[in-house]
Structure 1
Amino acid sequence: MLKVDPTVQTLTAAGIIAIALSVLINGTLSSHSQDKPPMQMAAETGTSAKGTWAASATGRVEPKDGEVRIVAQSAGEIMEVAAKTGDKAQAGDLLVLLNDSDAQAKLTAALAEEAVRVLERDEELAKGPALDRRNSEDAAFKAERAVFAAQMALDDVARKAKAGSASADDVAKARTALTDAQASFANEQAALQKVAARDDMPLPTRLESSLTLARSDVTQVLNAIDRTRVRAPADGTVLNVWAKLGEVAVTSPDAPLALFGDLGSLRVRTEVEERDVTKIRVGQKAVVKADAFGSQEFTGVVTSIAPALGAQRITSRGPRRPNDVEVLEVMVALDGQPPLLTGMRVDVFFKSDEPS
């Protein structure tokens, strides 16, 4: 059998161990460096091709006034989804229609009851201040119903316009009619309050009180019908639609029907680590970068800083932070109209104060 010199064995084993340790160490260092993206590494070293950063943070892009998760005001089956992702909408535009058959039946009954009470009241003669109040009440109720009718007409014309059977001019006319009806109702309400406040105004009679209650029932039903119409809360853009035809909408914030926001300008919601909170101030300039846009930079300015630390809600790149890390929420308004998309994750670098 071939004999191997013990010295050679020892040297060979030592060489193998050295190579293994070298590979292990290099692999570990490489792993650590890969865990930290270039943006994070630049922030940690405090340097960049363009200067020194005071701090950095992860953020998400959102509309300037935030995203609104629209929830149904009443439960019901979804009968129509009038909006789709990307649609522009004005305040009050119909987004989702729920089943209103029960409410419509109640409206028919309530209007019939109101008509009977009007006939009963009119059998009593009224004069002077009482007659003025009666006429003003009638005018206000008529104006209220006109607002409801104008709103329903606008909803109908808007649906026809999307289907191609009505023009943009038709929609504009319907909007004007609704605005006029709302103004008329406001004027009639003000007039009624003025009449009712007269010093010589007598108390309502029993029949007048019965009519007032009947009209109150009508108003409640009109409001119930309107709650089956899920509308745009303001002028803006439909960012996402989760409502599906035939499903049942519920009045829960955990079951929104649509996501809405104003894309006229954008902001970034960032989370600054506790160690960097003293380096951030309102008015401070910032640079925003997104992976999708490579080395392109977008500028912005800090507009608000939360008054207290809170739990992290934005997932960071690289190694996970401990769950108990406290962060400070900071808002950065973006300059101009950058091509960033809402929901996009970005890296935010806060500029150091210029030397005096």
Structure 2
Amino acid sequence: MRRDPLPRPAALLPAVAMLLVFAAPLPATAQRADESADRNGRKSWAAVALGRVEPRSRELRLGAATAGRIVEVLVRPNDTVTAGEILVRIEDTEARARVTMAEAQAGARERARDDQSAPRGSGERRRAEDALVEAEQAALAARDAFDAATIERRRGGDGDEAAIARARQALVQASERLRRAEAELARLRATGDTPLPNRTEAEWIAARAELALAEAGLEKTRLRAPIDGTVLQVAARRGELGSPSAEAPLVVLGDLSGLRVRAELDERDIAQVRVGQAVVVRANAFQGRDFAGTVASIAQTVGPGGMAARGPRRQADIDVLEVVVDLADPGPLKVGMQVDVYFRQENAAPK
């Protein structure tokens, strides 16, 4: 009796591929959707989404404002910093030389202006200009004093907290004085009642502008904290070259006074979620523990997801809407931790 020949391996490939498709695990979105039904088949949750824990301020990725050699890194991970504090210093010899040259030029132009009689009707404007110069100098001195106090603390010196607080307050007051002086001069120039600057005055104004540019260049060699927060990561290393790059931040900073979750909601569930809705957050690291939260904001645009999902399909294949959830008590949750976000039914009682 003749037997049928065995099927060739190539002929089996379509069948094997079909078997793998049906046997493959469901995408993460589908898996979590199955979890949203209880044992009686009733839907317990309005929607479920993948999310990630982040600081209240999001993660601020701070890079250098100018290219240069890193000469000092003043912070370490978990350090608490205040807004305006220097985190990293970049080589500033050349920038300081430019400031010195600009100061000399501005000083010479100012003396030439003062040696010349003021044009009729320009006295009030000159007084406002002089007040602005004094306010700028006071603000720079206050900032230098604040920098000296905070850097001393970071270097392991005495770092008197009371002295730092006084320096910070003096900087705030000097900045407010500068703001008022700028506003007053702008008001006078806008009225049109004062005569235009003569040649000597115009040269002094141009020299002041050059000095401001030089000082701005020097400031770019200092990476400062934009907010009060906690240092999450430090990539800066002394001796390395720092360059402006969003992909290679020198320091990552965040406000850990509160945590939230940024979730990626499947676009098909948009109608099930609203601002103010109660949610439950769960993390694999803390099995059996629920973290309560509330929907704080919902994005206005839909786009591809950015969080990796389990299974052969990735979240990037699904159009999602970003939903931000404020956590009532984050407890042991950590920044960067991946979590599942369960959106409660509007008429569902908390469990």
AA matched with 1:179:
V
Q: CA deviation at 1:182?
A: 0.9
After superposition, the Cα gap between the structure-2 partners of 1:113 and 1:281, relative to the gap in structure 1 and judged at 3 Å, is same
Q: CA deviation at 1:151?
A: 1.1
- Which piece of structure 1 moves more, 39-48 or 277-286? 39-48
- TM (norm. structure 2) is 0.84
Whether the 8 Å CA contact 2:308–2:315 is kept in 1: the answer is no
Please name the residue that 1:107 is paired with: 99
- TM (norm. structure 1) is 0.83
After superposition, the Cα gap between the structure-2 partners of 1:217 and 1:257, relative to the gap in structure 1 and judged at 3 Å, is same
AA matched with 1:46:
S
Structure 2's unaligned 5+ residue stretches are 1-19
Say yes or no: does 1:149 pair with 2:141.
yes
| 1:196-235 matches, cutoff 5 A | 196-197=189-190, 200-235=193-228
Please name the residue that 1:47 is paired with: 37
Aligned partner (choices 184, 188, 203) of residue 191 of structure 1: 184
Whether the 8 Å CA contact 2:24–2:312 is kept in 1: the answer is no
Matches of 1:254 and 1:322, distance apart in 2:
22
AA matched with 2:54:
E
Whether the 8 Å CA contact 1:43–1:349 is kept in 2: the answer is no
Q: CA deviation at 1:135?
A: 2.8
Q: CA deviation at 1:319?
A: 4.6
Q: CA deviation at 1:36?
A: 8.3
Structure 1's unaligned 5+ residue stretches are 1-27
Please name the residue that 1:74 is paired with: 66
Please name the residue that 1:324 is paired with: 317
After superposition, the Cα gap between the structure-2 partners of 1:349 and 1:212, relative to the gap in structure 1 and judged at 3 Å, is same
Please name the residue that 1:130 is paired with: 122
AA matched with 1:118:
E
Say yes or no: does 1:335 pair with 2:335.
no
After superposition, the Cα gap between the structure-2 partners of 1:122 and 1:297, relative to the gap in structure 1 and judged at 3 Å, is same
Please name the residue that 2:151 is paired with: 159
Say which one has the larger Rg: 1
Please name the residue that 1:14 is paired with: none
Percent identity reads: 39
Q: CA deviation at 1:51?
A: 7.6
Say yes or no: does 1:252 pair with 2:245.
yes
After superposition, the Cα gap between the structure-2 partners of 1:273 and 1:146, relative to the gap in structure 1 and judged at 3 Å, is same
Q: RMSD between aligned alpha carbons? A: 2.9
Matches of 2:51 and 2:265, distance apart in 1:
9
Whether the 8 Å CA contact 2:262–2:323 is kept in 1: the answer is yes
- Which piece of structure 1 moves more, 272-281 or 333-342? 272-281
After superposition, the Cα gap between the structure-2 partners of 1:195 and 1:45, relative to the gap in structure 1 and judged at 3 Å, is closer
After superposition, the Cα gap between the structure-2 partners of 1:91 and 1:48, relative to the gap in structure 1 and judged at 3 Å, is farther
Please name the residue that 2:8 is paired with: none
Whether the 8 Å CA contact 2:306–2:316 is kept in 1: the answer is no
Give the secondary-structure state (helix, strand or coil) at the position aligned to 1:299: strand
Aligned partner (choices 42, 54, 72) of residue 62 of structure 1: 54
Aligned partner (choices 175, 191, 194) of residue 182 of structure 1: 175
Matches of 2:301 and 2:313, distance apart in 1:
22
Q: CA deviation at 1:298?
A: 0.2
Matches of 1:41 and 1:311, distance apart in 2:
19
Matches of 1:221 and 1:321, distance apart in 2:
50
Give the secondary-structure state (helix, strand or coil) at the position aligned to 2:248: coil
Give the secondary-structure state (helix, strand or coil) at the position aligned to 1:269: strand
Matches of 1:208 and 1:322, distance apart in 2:
63
Whether the 8 Å CA contact 1:70–1:260 is kept in 2: the answer is yes
Q: CA deviation at 1:47?
A: 3.1
AA matched with 2:304:
A
Whether the 8 Å CA contact 1:305–1:329 is kept in 2: the answer is yes
